[in-house]
Every structure is written in structure tokens, then in C-alpha cells.
Amino acid sequence: MTTAEIIAIGTEMLLGDKVDTNTAYIAQHLRELGIDLFRTSIVGDNQERIAAMIRESLQRAQIVITTGGLGPTVDDPTREAVASAFCRELVFHDFLWESIQARFQLLNRPATENNRIQAFIPEGAIAVQNPVGTAPAFIVEQDDQMVTSLPGVPGEMEIILQESILPFIQKKYQIHSVIMSTILHCSGIGESMVDEQIADLERSQNPTVGLLAHPGLVDIRITARAENSKAATELINPFRAQITARLTDHIFGEGSQTLSSVVANRFKEMKINLRVFTTGLDHEELVKIIPGDLQLYMIFTKPCADYPKSSEMKNDSISTEQCFNPCLEIQFLDESSRSGMALSWSWDDKQAQSSWFFAGPNGALNTWRRNMILDFIRRNLG
């Protein structure tokens, strides 16, 4: 089983000035090759710390991928750090310097003397040309292990990874497997209840099943390793079927689908709008909770005598008088206590439906409210 670790290099990420997106991109592509990712980490622009982290990663993984720190300035120490980790010297390569100068000519800019630093790579390393930038990447091999250092600029890193590094890894480690994942989305049920329903499936080794909770939602990830995508799909499908059968209408979508998009598509298919009445929260605040793609299908109306009164919020609070659009009344309870909200629904001559929701998480109250409201609408639309 081939293993890997990723090290993102840059003090700006430790300070919170920049978000590391490279790690997620690399991780996704390693997963597709069936490579197990043991750990990811971020380290600042310090040669000794980078070298120590590389040595530590090599104690666990066969492949170490670094991003960042390959620029021409003094705070770009990755080349020196990798050389130090392998106890090697940096070696200047004329062909790299020529390609760097040629790149600057294309940009109609002169290559400055400090750009020569980018033509140095660790002794014995394999140089990897950068077709869209000035900083070449490189690969250092030692027995069955390798360290590859990529530029931190996402556009440069992605191209080098796809065109050079991944093919090199596949050839070196004779990788002929894939890892595939699918995510089922649940609403109206908590993480502990989902776990209770599918605990036996979560003990599986291949596919693996894992849970991720969000305010008002739970994701179920099914991940399979196989020789090819077809075989992986065949492993995933029986688990998908079992989970769907057990959780029934709690599952609202899969993959890139969101609760908002599912409800919006249902409104579009039915060619209807929803009348929304609210008390306890200003109209402007309510609009902030409702996603934009759903606002197209909603008519926000303040309570009036012709429609349900919030003061009568009980199981039978909405009259069964005919309304040709579905009606939703939202009563937000005491804001200071964060105690929750009550939702009531009426449509044509169908029996009114009401539900109470309590104790949304304080740290993500509006997200919790939004998902509770959307799940209530989804279930009543049928």
C-alpha cells in the first residue's frame, strides 16, 4: 500500500493571511490513485523546521509532497531544506537557468540575479520543468521513498502535479488501483441517530463508511478501493442501497447536491411558489437565512388577518381554508434564549402540519435554522 504526506510551506498560512488550498487539491488526486494519505501539515518559512518535518514524514510515508518556498527570495528556503533533509548539497544547473531566463523573456521582463537561485536543486534530484512559471520543481529519490517539491502558486502546482508528478508516482510505485468516494446527504436526523442505524456498516474495511455532522445535516461518505472505477462502484453500490433503505426519507441528495438545490428544483418542477409568514425576526433577517436560489420561489409576507396568526401557533394553528400556493409560517422563539422556532404548513385542503424545533447550536444558529426550514419544506412538498 503506497503512502503519502503533504507539507504546505509558508508563514503566511500560519498567520492566517492565506488559506492553503493546494493540500486539498493534491489529496484528491492522491486518493484517485489509491494512495493513502497519512498526514498533512503546514510549516513556516524556516529551513530547519521544514527539514525536520520532511525527515519526520519520511519515517511514515513513501511519498512526501511539499508546496511553496521555491521562489527567488531569502524567505523561500524549500530547496535548502530538502537538501538538508537528505544531507546533500545544492547544485546549479545551466539548463534550468536558461529555461528561467527564457520564461522571463516571454514575459518581457529581465531575469534578475536572485532568480538564479531557482536553478539550484538538491544534488542528484530530478528537475521538473515548470511550463507556466519561473520556479522549477524537483524530485529527490532515496530507495523506495521520494520527496517532490512543487511551487506554491496553485495554477503552477496543479499543472506540474498533473503533467509530471502523478505520472512519475504511478510508474515508480506501479499503481494500478483507484479510490472512489460518494457522499449521501441527510437532514432531519442527528449524527448519533444515523450512527445507530448504520453502525455495522461503519465497521467495514472496504468500503469504509464515515459520518460528518453539520448544523441540521449529516453527510455519509462511502469510500472504496479497487483496481478500477467500475470495481470501486460495484463495492459502493450495495452500501449505498443499504443506507438508503435504512434512512429512507432522511436522505435528500448525493454528491454535489445541496438541500437548497433539491428544494429549489422541486419548486421549479411543480411550478409553484411558497408564501412565507414570519414573526419574531425581521423580514430582512429572514431573507439572509434563505438561500438565494430559493428566494425566487418564495413570497415573503408579514402576518395578516387573512392568514395564520403566530399567537395561535399550535398543531392546528393554520386553517384549512384553500390557498393555491403552499403557505409556511415561521415563528422564531425567544432570541435571547436561542430556544428554537416553530414551523407550520398549509396547502389547499390538506391537513395542516406543524413542528417545533429547539436548541439550535449557538455558534451556527442561522445555518441550523436554514437547514431545519428547508428540510421541513422538502418533506411537505413530497
Please write the tens of the pLDDT for every residue from 228-254.
889 999 999 999 999 999 999 999 999
Is 139's pLDDT higher than 90?
Answer: yes
Rg of the chain taking only CA atoms, in angstroms: 28
179: its cell numbers: 479510490
**DSSP helix/strand/coil, 19:** coil
248 and 360 share one domain: no
The grid coordinates of residue 254 equal 448525493
Rounded CA separation 257/221 (Å) = 14
Boundary residue ending a domain (141, 173, 205) = 173
Q: Which domain holds residue 84?
A: 3-173
The CATH number covering residue 146 comes to: 3.40.980.10
* Residues 148-168 pLDDT 10s: 999 999 999 999 999 999 999
The span from the CA of 128 to the CA of 146, in Å, is: 14
Residues 6 or more apart whose Cβ sits within 8 Å of residue 15: none
Same domain flag for 122 and 65: yes
> Does residue 259 belong to any structural domain of this protein?
no
pTM: 0.70
User: Is the pLDDT score of 321 beyond 60?
Assistant: no
Read off the CATH number of the domain in which 219 is found.
3.30.70.2860
What cell was used for 214?
453539520
Shared domain for 29 and 63, answered yes or no, is yes
pLDDT of 310 higher than 60? no
- Verify that 189 and 163 share a domain, yes or no: no
Query: Based on the domain organization, do 35 and 108 belong to the same domain?
Result: yes
Residue 362 CA to residue 336 CA, distance in Å, equals: 11
Tell me: do 238 and 331 sit in the same domain.
no
| CA dist., res. 29 & res. 115, Å (int) | 31
Find the CATH number of the domain harbouring 331: 3.90.950.20
Q: Residue 240 is placed in which grid cell?
A: 449505498
Confidence of residue 361 (pLDDT cuts 50, 70, 90): low
Average pLDDT over the chain reads 87
Query: Under the phi-then-psi rule, with left for phi > 0, alpha for psi from -120 to 50, and beta for the rest, what region is 381?
Result: alpha
C-alpha grid cell for residue 88? 546533500
Same domain flag for 84 and 143: yes
Q: Which amino acid is at 37?
A: L
Whole-number Å distance between alpha carbons of 175 and 1: 9
DSSP state of 162: I
d(C-alpha 114, C-alpha 223), whole Å: 46
At 77-91, the pLDDT tens digits run 999 999 999 999 999
pLDDT at 279: 82
Number of domains in the chain: 3
Neighbour tally for 159: CB within 10 Å: 17
Residue 260 lies in a domain: no
